[in-house]
Structure 1
Amino acid sequence: MKLQIVPARTGLQWVQLGLRTFKSQPLALAALFFLGMASMSLITALPLIGPVIALALLPCVSLTMMVAASEAAHGRKPSPALLLVAFRSGSQHLHSMLMLGGLYAAGFLLIIGASSIIDGGTFASVYLGQTPMSRELAEDPDFQSAMWLSMFLYLPLSLAFWHAPALIHWHNISPVKSLFFSFVACMRNIGAYIVFGLCWMGVFLACGMLLAMVTGILAALIGSVAGGIMVATALMLAAMFFTSIVFTFRDCFSPPDEVTDQAGPSEPPAPEF
């Protein structure tokens, strides 16, 4: 495995490839993402440990979407069985993914705990859905400070876990090393990731404005339908975003020594992973 440095413009290519790949298999990719999110939502209903387990499953859902996207990129239809790809690749692989999930949940809870020091847990309660958001809360200085602190602390956590599931799956890297290599890869290619993020922000904003106009018209005619369309569109955009992640991994790391057929390059023709 070798880290590869890419130009900043590659970030735009990642977005384009993600959208193109999603377009090739929209139902299969959207269904896998929805099933993953639904599973996490159901698990959060468990008392006490439910939200923690759901957090620990996020790297597994991310890996599912990466493997599914690489399948779609090579013209193959992703199957529902990929939802369990993190759990059916051998005991060592399973152990590594479980450890990675535990580390992610611990890191996220530490961030939430740090924000609670500032506002007494108000932001954490709102974020976890236990307290409804209100204008008074949004304008509260302590709440805003807790929110910005959480965002600041979550950024390095996100970079560390960005490539980690894929490094474990395709390169058999240990969880701790995968976090280190993922963070270094993101920092060394920070220009491409900034472009990647800005492009996705543009996609979200453009779709949001278009959706606002459509739902505004529908709300006047059929109010109950407008809300459902907004939720479905938001989930679809999130599925598109997760579809594009695999291409960031493909361009930042050289192919593993043993070539398999579960991945694809960003720009064909290139060797399959």
Structure 2
Amino acid sequence: MKLNIVPARTGLTWVKLGITTFIKQPLAMSGLFFMFMAMLSVATLVPFIGAALALALLPAATLGLMAATQEATKGKFPMPSILISAFRAGQQRMQAMMVLGALYAAGFLALMGISALVDGGQFARLYLVGGKITEELVLQDSFQMAMWVAMALYLPLSLLFWHAPALVHWHGVSPVKSLFFSFIACYKNFGAFTVFGLAWAGVFVLAAIVVSLIATLLGNPMLATVAMFPVALVIVAMFFTSIYFTFRDSFSETDEPAPGELS
């Protein structure tokens, strides 16, 4: 397995591929995304361990969407069963994915624990358990600081796990090694991932502007608030569709050992 270094402009290509692939299979990709969200939501309902369980399932569920995208690129219609691809790849890889999920849950809960040191756990409790969001709570300096601390810590965590599920599933890499290789791949292709993130932010802002303009032209500004929610969900579904391409272009199979090869 060889790490590929791609130019920064590849980030735009990933966004374009995510959008065009979604458009080719809109029913399948949107349906699978909503099933993905439903699966994680149901997991959170499990008493006591719901939040941790949902976090542990996230790597496997994300791999399911990546596998669906791979099928869509081949012109196939991805079926719902593809979402559990991680648990149908043999006992060894299933166990590796479960370990990866446990590591992700532990990492996320740890960063939430660190944020709790800042505001006494208000932000972490709201994020993990839910509750009423009040203006007074949001405007608290400690709450805002805890939020920024959590966001700052989540960046390296996301880089560690960005490619990890795919490396475990498609390349048989061990969970710990997959975290290392994922981080290195994201670091080496930082330019492309920066463009990728900025481009998706631009897509979201553009969509919000278009929805607002349409609502204004129709003489119903409140329509923008109502319409933006489903539009945002579609954009997020497109984003998850594009994740597969970031992995596909960052790694390649090699038969001959080469400089930069990962093993």
Aligned 8 A contact 2:212 2:221 in 1: no
Corresponding pairs, count = 255
The residue type paired with residue 4 of structure 1 is N
1:81 shift after superposition: 1.1
Cα distance change, pair 230–4 in 1 and its aligned pair in 2 (3 A): same
1:184-263 to 2 correspondences below 5 Å:
184-214=184-214, 220=220, 227=226, 229-255=227-253
Aligned equivalents of 1:12 and 1:221: distance in 2?
32
Q: Deviations over 1:53-103 (max 9, x none)?
A: 111111112101111111111211111110111111100011011111111
Aligned equivalents of 1:218 and 1:129: distance in 2?
39
The residue type paired with residue 91 of structure 2 is S
1:214 shift after superposition: 4.6
Partner of residue 22, structure 2: 22
The residue type paired with residue 232 of structure 1 is P
Identity percentage over the alignment?
A: 54
Cα distance change, pair 205–61 in 1 and its aligned pair in 2 (3 A): same
Counterpart secondary structure, 1:130:
coil
The TM-score with structure 2 as length reference comes to: 0.91
Counterpart secondary structure, 1:78:
coil
Partner of residue 137, structure 1: 137
1:94-173 to 2 correspondences below 5 Å:
94-128=94-128, 130-173=130-173
Q: Deviations over 1:163-182 (max 9, x none)?
A: 00110111100000000000
The residue type paired with residue 55 of structure 2 is L
Matched, 1:61 2:61: yes
Aligned equivalents of 1:67 and 1:255: distance in 2?
17
Q: Unpaired segments of 5 or more residues in structure 1? A: 258-273
Aligned 8 A contact 1:33 1:61 in 2: no
Aligned equivalents of 2:149 and 2:137: distance in 1?
16
The residue type paired with residue 246 of structure 1 is Y
Partner of residue 263, structure 1: none
Q: Unpaired segments of 5 or more residues in structure 2? A: 256-263
Partner of residue 81, structure 1: 81
Aligned 8 A contact 2:51 2:129 in 1: no
The residue type paired with residue 133 of structure 1 is I
Hey, which bits of structure 1, 4+ residues long, moved more than 6 A? 216-219
Partner of residue 258, structure 2: none
Counterpart secondary structure, 2:47:
coil
Cα distance change, pair 215–109 in 1 and its aligned pair in 2 (3 A): farther
The residue type paired with residue 241 of structure 1 is F
Partner of residue 182, structure 2: 182
1:218 shift after superposition: 7.9
Aligned 8 A contact 1:171 1:256 in 2: no
Counterpart secondary structure, 2:54:
helix
The TM-score with structure 1 as length reference comes to: 0.88
Cα distance change, pair 135–216 in 1 and its aligned pair in 2 (3 A): farther
Aligned 8 A contact 1:69 1:243 in 2: yes
The residue type paired with residue 72 of structure 2 is A
1:215 shift after superposition: 5.7
